Amino acid sequence: MALEMRPPAEDELERVLTTVEAVFGKELRQAEESLAAARATLPLDRILSVFDGSSVVGVAAAYPFSMIIPGGELPCSGVSWVGVLPSHRRRGLARDLMRRQLSELHERGEPLAALWASEAAIYGRFGYGYAVPGQRLDADRAGFAYRSDAGPVGQVRLLALDQALETLPGIYDRARPARVGVLARTLTWWREHVLSQRDEPPDSGTRFLAALELDGLPEAYAIYRVRRSWEQGLPGNTVAVQEALGTSALACKEMWRFLFSIDLSTRVTARHLDPAAPLRLGVVDPRRLRISLGDGLRLRLVDVGAALAARSWATADALIVEVHDDFCPWNNGTYRLGQDAGRASGAPALSLDVMDLASAYLGGVSISWLAAAGLVEEHTPGAVARADALLHTALPPHSPGEF
């Protein structure tokens, strides 16, 4: 029987979710809650499913988001649920899903797509570049102290779920413009994903929601869990931070002070540490933080011209570049970076792959780094340095949480 690729019908959605879980070696639990969350946040026409008869054997989906970019904000699809059952691998289904998805996003007029990669080697071939560095924290709480410190300020309050739904989204929305790569969240997304405990394993610990007030106004928040541990009568709890964000450096500093002050804990961890958080350089002993660097959010320029035209530039210079895009051929050609950015004619000063331009787009990776790795061809002396100057942004790239 021939395979069919299409969006699922409403009565097929549970089969889609079951397949998504099976791809990652899990089974669908709390089916009704998962279906309700999917229906609330992901329209059916943004889900591509591969059917073998009545069975779903492959899936790719794209949540509708928007992303902060240097100088503004653009529609950005949050790619998720990507996978093929083991019984149908090595047939090119993942490639076909990603190709059709990108074609449909291009037709929708969505210039950007982003994802968190389950396997690092997969998505470069589809044009997704390493755009937002990922930082992890696995800190020894003992000895935590700030180098320059006048003592704690503000008041931290623990919140019930309904209070958090009223408070945290406002803090997040005020913090977003100061960090490129951060996605917009609806109240439904907060309720069904960020603050949901639907997929948490039993041993994940007790969840807490905290907000920091400065001068009576909420300016930072943290979502964290406490994993209890006692050995020979001594406490060794872990504070596992899901997300911590503040509207200012002071707010971030005080929120992290609180997280490192929780009694009975010896360890503080975070899967997604905000690069703007004043920790590594702000503490007396940065080694105790055990911050590790990895890949974070990956970005795809679905429409190179539209993405470049919407971005701001750090200098008044302009530069012609040649972009190669084997997977989305509509992007192949030459473009101007800088004033009047977009499609352009003329001899290019440098050439690069769309994946590498995506890496540099938010300012998280420099063109000179890419050139040193042999990924940029410089045709005009000094072009790499000029491109770096154009693409520079003072805003730190960050993307809290996966989707």
Query: In 3D, which of 215, 296, 285 has the Cα closest to residue 248?
Result: 215
Q: Do domains 4-110 and 135-295 have the same CATH topology?
A: yes
**135-295 — its CATH code?**
3.40.630.30
The predicted structure's pLDDT at residue 395: 87
pTM above 0.85, yes or no: yes
Catalytic status, residue 258:
no
Catalytic status, residue 123:
yes
The predicted structure's pLDDT at residue 1: 67
Assign domain 301-391 to its CATH architecture. Answer: 2-Layer Sandwich (3.30)
The predicted structure's pLDDT at residue 347: 97
Catalytic residue among 51, 65, 123, 130: 123
Query: In 3D, which of 116, 16, 114, 8 has the Cα closest to residue 65?
Result: 114
Assign domain 4-110 to its CATH architecture. Answer: 3-Layer(aba) Sandwich (3.40)
The predicted structure's pLDDT at residue 75: 98
| Per-residue CA distances from 97 to 49, 50, 80, 226 (Å) | 8, 8, 12, 39
Q: Which residues of the chain have pLDDT under 70?
A: 1
Domain borders along the chain are: 4-110, 135-295, 301-391
Q: Is 170 helix (H, G, I), strand (E, B) or coil?
A: helix
* Positive or negative: CA dihedral 149, 151, 155, 159: positive
The predicted structure's pLDDT at residue 3: 96
